[in-house]
Amino acid sequence: MNFASLAFLVFLPTVWAIYWLLPRRSWQNVLLLSASYFFYGWWDYRFCVLMLASSLIDYAVALRIAGCELPGVRRRWLTVSVVSNLGLLGVFKYYNFFIENFTLLAESLGWQINAGTLRIILPVGISFYTFQTLSYTIDAYRRQLTPTRNLIDYLTFVSFFPQLVAGPIERAVNLLPQFQKARRVHVEYLSVGLSRILWGLFKKIAIADTVAGTVNAAFADPAADGARLALAAVLFAFQIYCDFSGYSDVAIGTAQLFGVKLMRNFAYPYFAQSPREFWQRWHISLSTWFRDYVYIPLGGNRVGAVRRKANLVVTFLVSGLWHGAAWP
């Protein structure tokens, strides 16, 4: 289900109205969980099966880690989580890429390859919820959180529909406790949330979608001159920012309607005065995820200059792999 769709326009107020009529937190979480899986299954019900399987693996692994004091055993359980999550990402993001390129290489060598290979559809939001559950098990391993035994609360944290398909990538230490306590409707939350949703939809529909036609036509035209391409490049900067940050604004605003606070994901990145500051302002939830779970564990900036640069290269390489595979 798309935020900028008629279906979501009906879905959101319906879920919101029922949600605040429910007298107990536990019932509200059951509703949010059901609504989130309905929202996700709107694209393809099979996606729900995959997300549930991924969630249950990390739920069980985190409990195993928390209940064990043997370092070697705890590392093995963490490895299960890392391999399962990254394995899912690898298969769904890279399978088609490698099959297509292997077929092209074989044909260039004169080999005949059956092109009717299995094609895998990339599940919407898999990059976000796998990183969210992976951080859950890593934080449990680091003793930075105590895993919950309440399966409903945990599954609601993973599948919360406002941020499921486009982020922000939330940490369990920030989001999970909000599902473990009572929530009350506040007029201020409603007004701020609705304003954030409308602003996000404006950026997405009125700006990003409007300039997309001009940008795509210019980049697809072999005869486009330099001035046209330069204009398209500038417009593309607005398109990608308004598209992504617009979705983040809708997600943050929608969560506020339910009394839930999500982290800020964009902080005026084009006003940054250096590349470093830009990445601190752009897709904040992802950049801080790589900082905390890749860059710092590698040594961060606490090592020598050469090692520090190598850590940066590895971090950006992993970030690039997370975004997917394609030839320029």
Q: How many residues does the chain have?
A: 328
- Could you write out the three-class secondary structure of the chain? CCCCCHHHHHHHHHHHHHHHHCCCHHHHHHHHHHHHHHHHHCCCHHHHHHHHHHHHHHHHHHHHHHCCCCHHHHHHHHHHHHHHHHHHHHHHHHHHHHHHHHHHHHHHCCCCCCCCCCCCCCCCCHHHHHHHHHHHHHHHHCCCCCCCCCHHHHHHHHHCHHHCCCCCCCCHHHHHHHHCCCCCCCHHHHHHHHHHHHHHHHHHHHHHHHHHHHHHHHHHCCCCCHHHHHHHHHHHHHHHHHHHHHHHHHHHHHHHHCCCCCCCCCCCHHHCCCHHHHHHHCCHHHHHHHHHHHHCCCCCCCCCHHHHHHHHHHHHHHHHHHHCCCCC
Residues near 119 by beta carbon (within 8 Å), at least 6 away in sequence: 96, 99
> Catalytic amino acids?
323
Question: In this structure, which amino acid lies at residue 17?
Answer: A
Residues near 240 by beta carbon (within 8 Å), at least 6 away in sequence: 208
Q: How far apart are CA 257 and CA 252, in angstroms?
A: 9
Residue 222: Cβ within 10 Å count? 4
